[in-house]
Structure 1
Amino acid sequence: MSKEHGADARPVLLIRTISFSFALLLLIALGVFAARMWQTTDVLSKQGSRGNEVRQIQQKLKNWGYYFGEVDGIFGVQTKKAVMDFQRKNGLAVDGIAGNATLRAMGIYSSQQTSGSGGYSDSDIALLANIISAEARGEPFEGQVAVGAVVLNRVEHPSFPDTLPGVVYQPGAFTAITDGQINVAVAESARKAAREALAGSDPSGGALYYYNPDKTSNKWIRTRPVIKRIGAHLFCS
C-alpha cells in the first residue's frame, strides 16, 4: 500500500516543483523588466517620455530660458529642442536625450545617481575639480580650495540652485563654462582642492562670489563687500 501511495505522490511532487520553478522564473523576469522600466523612466527621458522627471526637465529649462512651452510632463518636440539647446550651450553631446550626463548638468538626480562624499556623487566631485581647475588654474592651493568652497556655499544658499551641477552650469555664473576652460584637462591640485573643500575647508570665509579685479569689467561684482584676497582673486559676500 505504501508503495502505491509513494508512486502516486511522485507525479504530484514533480508538478508542484515545476510550478514553483516557473513561478520563480516569472517573478525574476518581472523584476528585471520593472528595473529596466524604472531606469528608463528615471534616468533617460527622450521624445515620447512622460512623467515627473520630464516636468523637472521642462521647469529647469523654462527657468533658464531654453523652454517656452507648458510644463506638462510630456517630452515633445519643443522639449527636445530645448534639451538640445541646453546641451549645445553646456558642451554636452547634442542628441536631445536627457541621459545621465544631461540630467546631472541640470541638477536632476535619480536614486541611482547619488553616492559619494557628503551626499555628492562621484560625478559631482569630478565636476567640482573641473570648475576649480578651470577657474583657479595657476592660483595658490588655498585659492583653489576657496573657489571650491564658493561653489559649495552657493549650493547651500537659498539664492542659488541647490545642486552642485545646477550651481556650476547656472547661466552666466562662471566664465569657464562659456569660454570652454571647463573642458581642459584637470590639474591634480584641483582634485586635491575639491576634496579639501568637500571636507569642510573654506579659506574664502563663507564667500558667495569671487573675481579677478585686474580682469573683470563687471561693475556689479565690484560693489560686493570683499571678505579677503587670495592670490589674484577677491572673495566677497
Structure 2
Amino acid sequence: MLLGACAMTLGLTVAAPSAGAQKLEQGVRSEHVLQLQEQLSDLGYFDAGLTGYYGRITKGAVRKFQQAQGLSADGVAGPATLNRLNKKAKAEGETLRQLAKLIHGEARGESLEGQVAVGAVVMNRVHSNAFPSSISKVIFQKGQFTAVDDGQFNTKPTQTSYRAARKALNGADPTNGALYYYNPKIATSVWSKSRPTLLTIGQHDFTR
C-alpha cells in the first residue's frame, strides 16, 4: 500500500554468463551457470533457487527464453542464446527487477490482475507531470511505498510478480489511469480515503 516512506537507493548489477562461457547445458555446474540463472530470474523465466547447477529446471527456463526470442528452443545455452540473454538483461533486467520487487512487496497474494494494477500505477506516475519521470525515481520517491519503507521491497519476487511487471511495462493498465491505491481495511490516511475510487481489485482501492 502507499504510505509515508524514506527513499532508499539500491545498487543492482547484471551478470554476464557469456563472458568466458561458450555453451552451457544440462549436467554442468559452474559460476557461469549461476550467472545464467540470475539473468533468467531477473527476466522472469527462472523461479527456483540459484544453485549454479544446470538441471531440468534451468533447461526449461532456457527453453522458455529461447521460444520467446524466436531462437531454436533446445534448452541449451549456446552462443546465440547467451548473447541474446546478455542484451535483454542489460536492457530490461534492472528496470524489470525493480518493478517486480515493488509489486511483490506491495501486492503479493493478490491476483495477477491485482499485481499488474500496482505496476500500472507506477507506470501512470512515470507518465504524469506530477511525479518523477523514471520508474526507479517513482519507486524510491520519498513518502510513497510501504514496501520500500519496511524492507519488503528486498524480498525475492515471484514468477507472477515478474509477469505482472512485464505486462505493466508493456502498457497493461486494469486501473484505467489510477495514480494511487490503498487497502481500505488498514489505511489510516484521511487524504487517501477522500480520493474518488475508480475501481477495487482484490484488497486495493485505486484512485486518481
> Given the two structures, how large is their TM-score scaled by the length of structure 2?
0.58
- SS of the equivalent of 1:220 reads helix
- How far off its partner does 1:121 sit? 4.0
More helix by share: 1
Residue type at the aligned position of 1:150: V
Residue type at the aligned position of 2:126: V
Structure 2 residue aligned with 1:135, among 106, 118, 121? 106
Map of 2:149 onto structure 1: 178
Map of 2:199 onto structure 1: 228
CA distance in structure 1 between the aligned counterparts of 2:123 and 2:205, rounded to whole angstroms: 17
Structure 2 residue aligned with 1:211, among 161, 176, 182? 182
- SS of the equivalent of 1:151 reads helix
5+ residue gaps, structure 1: 1-85, 94-98, 102-114
CA distance in structure 2 between the aligned counterparts of 1:121 and 1:229, rounded to whole angstroms: 30
- How far off its partner does 1:125 sit? 1.1
Residue type at the aligned position of 1:194: A
1:72-151 mapped onto 2 (5 Å cutoff): 90=8, 92=10, 121-151=92-122
- How far off its partner does 1:187 sit? 1.3
CA distance in structure 2 between the aligned counterparts of 1:157 and 1:207, rounded to whole angstroms: 11
| Pair 1:163–1:189, CA change in 2 (3 A) | same
Residue type at the aligned position of 2:8: N
CA distance in structure 2 between the aligned counterparts of 1:171 and 1:185, rounded to whole angstroms: 22
- How far off its partner does 1:232 sit? 0.3
- SS of the equivalent of 2:156 reads coil
- How far off its partner does 1:116 sit? 6.0
Map of 1:192 onto structure 2: 163
1:41-56 mapped onto 2 (5 Å cutoff): none
CA distance in structure 1 between the aligned counterparts of 2:165 and 2:128, rounded to whole angstroms: 19
The higher radius of gyration belongs to 1
CA distance in structure 2 between the aligned counterparts of 1:100 and 1:141, rounded to whole angstroms: 27
User: Number of paired residues?
Assistant: 130
- After TM superposition, which residue ranges in structure 1, 4 or more long, deviate above 4 angstroms? none
% same residue? 44
Structure 1 residue aligned with 2:128, among 132, 157, 163? 157
Q: RMSD of the alignment, in Å?
A: 2.4
Contact 2:9 2:140 in 1 (8 A): no
